[in-house]
Amino acid sequence: MSFEYDEKGKIYTNVVRKKAVNAILQTTTHLMRGTLHIRQDQRVKDELDLNESFLALTDVSVLGMDGKPIHQVPFLAVCRSQIVWVIPDEIEEGGADE
């Protein structure tokens, strides 16, 4: 990891701090439960609006029609164009515009 200092001694690193948000995600074909990782100063919507092809999820359960897990994986990259909706498991501070 690299560190840089300014003239006042402030430390800068290339580490991006993120917060984990448990979420339920529906694609065109599957329902999933997993963890989104968003920047500290952003909302779930901000993460979804990024201009990237895939959304990273961790600790993912892909659910069958009966709601029971059919796949469980530590990491899954979901094609953003296939996402229908996302519900955070916990409502974040900041209001209803998440």
pLDDT in tens, 43-97: 999 999 999 999 999 999 999 988 899 999 999 999 999 999 999 986 544 444 4
Domain count, the chain: 1
Whether residue 7 lies inside any domain: the answer is: no
Token pair of 74, please? 């530590």
Q: Which residue in the block uniquely carries the two structure tokens 């968003």?
A: 38
Is 12 contained in some domain?
Answer: no
pTM of the shown model? 0.72
d(C-alpha 24, C-alpha 95), whole Å: 19
CATH number for the domain harbouring residue 24? 2.30.30.100
**pLDDT tens string 11-28:** 677 677 889 999 999 999
Domain presence at residue 81 = yes
Q: Is 93 exposed, middle or buried (0-12, 13-18, 19+ CB in 10 A)?
A: exposed
The domain of 23 spans 17-88
In a domain, 95, yes or no: no
pLDDT band at residue 1 under the 50/70/90 scheme: low
With respect to residue 27, please indicate whether it lies within any of the assigned structural domains. yes
